[in-house]
Amino acid sequence: MCKETKDLGEILDIYENELCGRMFKYKLSGKIDVEIVFYKENFCHLLGLQHIYGKNKKYLGINGYNNIKSGQLKRNNLKKHNKGEYNRIAIKLDHFDEIFDMLNSGEFIKFYQYRTNPISLIVADFIIYHDKSEYILHLFLRQERNGSNQYSPVSFIVKSGNDRSRNQYIAGQEYKKITNFEIIELDN
């Protein structure tokens, strides 16, 4: 199955239209409430642009978002700048448009970083994941502040179905049953 390659502007449109301006609200087993909100300034990080450009602020946060929005930063710029890292994140770019469906039909896990093998560098509280057989989607969520039910995505990882470490983030973790799910439109 070959997926159409989307440019960064098309991926940004999906991010704005399907994810930003909404709260994805879950009730989980154990009386846990999770409210997920997506922010414009997190977009480049979720794409993995920090792996391409390092700490160059022109391509990160709201600056990177604005450069993509204006058409100044395109997918072929990533490839030209750092082909090796681009090849590593290309699978993430190819499946980024599936996050909305994953939020609707994925599974929830309480994430313990030190249970991963090898140990993950991602610090998160939960993962929403969706095993599509050929690949597994992972959206890592971190609590915004203590005592809050609000979480924001901190990482998006796609593992190939034939990757030897395909279960790195989900093996040995604590599965949570979703008892209720709703999407709330936010006023911007």
H/E segment holding residue 89: helix 83-95
Q: Which residues contact 184 (CB under 8 A, 6 or more apart)?
A: 22, 23, 25
Q: Could you give the dihedral angle defined by the CA atoms of residues 134, 50, 104 and 8, in that order, rounded to the nearest 10 degrees?
A: -80
Structure confidence at residue 118 as a pLDDT band (50, 70, 90): confident
More confident residue, 118 or 37: 37
Q: Are 94 and 5 in contact (CB under 8 A)?
A: yes
pLDDT, one tens digit per residue, over 65-86 is 999 999 999 999 999 999 999 9
Q: Are 155 and 124 in contact (CB under 8 A)?
A: yes
pLDDT, one tens digit per residue, over 42-65 is 999 999 999 999 888 888 999 999
pLDDT, one tens digit per residue, over 149-164 is 999 999 999 999 888 8
4 pLDDT more than 70:
no
